[in-house]
Structure formats: C-alpha cells, structure tokens
Amino acid sequence: MRNLTHLAISLVVLLALKSAAPTSAFAQDQKGGSITGHVKLDGKPAPGITIIATPSSSDPTKAVEQMFNSSASMKTTTDSDGVYRLEGVPAGKYHVAPSAPALVTGDVNGTGDITVAEAAVAEGVDFTLSPAGVITGKITDSEGRPVIGQRVSLKPLDKADAAASAALAASMFGDRMYATDDRGIYRIFGLRPGRYIVSAGGDSDVMSGFLSQRPKRVQTFYPSVTDETKARPLQVTAGSEAAGVDIQFSGTDKGFVVSGRVVDSEKGTPIANAMVAYSKVRKTPGEEISVEIGQSELSGMPGGFTTTNDKGEFRFASVAPGS
C-alpha cells in the first residue's frame, strides 16, 4: 500500500512541476534534426493523418512525467501525398506513431523507436494503416438490468497482439479503459485483426473498484461463464464489427465475503476511514503461503479497495476463490 501512496504523491508532484515549468521542454541552442516518412491507408496515400513523436525513456519516472507534459511531444499531419515531416527535433530517441484511433498500423521499421542525430534527417519512417475492428455488447446483472460504468477487459489470443498488450500493461497507463455507458453498453474500437476473449468484473475491474469503491463482481467471460476455459473467442477482421457480445453476471456465483476490523494496536480503539486493499497471491503448487499481519506491501495488483466505517469495520463482497 505504501508504494501506491508514493506513486500518488509522485503524480501530484509531477503535475505541480509541470505547471511551474517553462512551456518549452527543449533547449533553444540545440540544432534540431528531422523525421520524415510516408503514410498509406489500404495501399493508397493517407492525407490528414496526425503523426506524433514522443521522447523515449527507460526511466519510469521520466516516462510518467512525459505523460503529463504535452510540450515534450511534437506532431504534424500528412499532406495530400501522405507525406509528413517533423522539423526541429532535438537529438535523441523518439517513439513515432500515427494518431488514428479507428485505424491500426504495423511496426515502424520493425521497431517503435527512432534515433535522431543533431542536424540529421531520419528518413523512411513509414506507416501502413488499415481499418480497425470493433467489439460491442451489453453488460447486465443477474436480473437483466444494465450495469453502468463496468470496466470491460480484452485479452488477445494471437501471440503478436498478446505481446503488444503486455507491453501496454507494463506501461501502467497505456491500456485503454473500456467501460459501459448508462445503458450498460460498451464499445471497444481500434482493434487489430485477430482472436480475443472479452470479460468483465474480477481482476479486470481494479481501477474502477479503486475509484468508486463499489463491490466487485466475479470475473465473467463471454458468453456469461466464470470459467475462462469455457470462454468463446471472438474473431475480429479489418473494418468489421462484432456486435451482441453480451455478458450477464450470475446471481448465484457471487464469490466470498471477507470482513474484519482495523484497530489501534495499543489502545484497541477502532480506526475509521482506513483504506484496506487485497490482492490475489500467485504461487506454485506445493508452495507455502505466509502472510504477515500489518504488512503494507501487496503481492500483486490490488483486487479491491474499501475504507473502514466509524467502527473500524470493512467488508469485501464477491471475492473470487484463491489465496
């Protein structure tokens, strides 16, 4: 829990630094280089496509800072021939990508990073785009009522897309937050052709559980099964829409309830408004699990958050079986 608190504080500090920093993130006395290339859509020149170059960094702290510092990125658009050119780019390594949510693209020169030398031109940074796929459906509770603001998780089954998904997850904030609207409807767009598994609830609902602190539901896969091995994979093709991918939560498989109290160790008095979290322990067969009461570290991504009431009591509902 302490690490999560430190992260939150770091984000606040970074936002404060951003507001106090100069608007230009680059040194003025540096001779800039250029990045240029072609963009095609279904083999034809693609005009009006926005291209963004963002400084690459292996330092997680700098990577988070760049997310809140839009001035660190440079952008331009393609002309009528699908050609773009970024001028005055300071020497360094950049991640270059088109901003086209309804389209998908392959890797650029086999890698996502481009190195720009001082006063040099990085040529041939080309992109080939194609229409993306869509998955849409409705999430309902056991009585058929729409579930509002429910996060929906997407798991790619093809190796290339699975690797890309893992890379996005590693960046913490790269994964898009898919959620249902006031009708319980969700729509996931910008998908590469391939096979996917759709689910809702459970471990896929970490962030919405943190923000809303509402009871978590058991993870349920399309078509409304709690066993992932029984999930039905969806085949997405370029420019297609897989509709009617509905999930209904079960009223009988609600999981476990975990409850307890938080008290002062010396006075024995209840502690109100204390944040409590749990995470699922991953272990190999035969491995012993030991838990130190009072430890502040979690073994993995939190499965749920809540706070204690004025009596120091907390309660988690719909906790999936496990350690």
Asked if pLDDT for residue 243 goes beyond 70, the answer is yes
pLDDT of residue 71: 55
Asked if pLDDT for residue 294 goes beyond 60, the answer is no
Q: Decide which of 236 and 256 is more confident.
A: 236
Parse the chain into domains and list their residue ranges.
2-130, 133-248, 256-319
pLDDT of residue 182: 93
Quickly name the fold that domain 2-130 has.
Immunoglobulin-like (2.60.40)
Q: How does the average pLDDT of the chain come out, rounded?
A: 78
Separation of alpha carbons 255 and 218, rounded Å: 6
Q: What is the mean pLDDT of residues 156-176?
A: 52
> If you average pLDDT over each of 240-244, 278-282, 318-322, which comes out highest?
240-244
Answer whether 2-130 and 133-248 agree in fold.
yes
Q: What is the mean pLDDT of residues 288-299?
A: 52
pLDDT of residue 156: 93
Asked if pLDDT for residue 114 goes beyond 90, the answer is no
In this prediction the pTM is 0.60
Q: What is the mean pLDDT of residues 21-44?
A: 72
CATH code: domain 133-248 is 2.60.40.1120
Q: Which residue type occupies 172?
A: M
Two tokens, residue 36: 């240029």
**Contact between residue 84 and residue 51 where contact means Cβ atoms under 8 Å apart:** yes
Separation of alpha carbons 202 and 96, rounded Å: 35
pLDDT of residue 279: 80
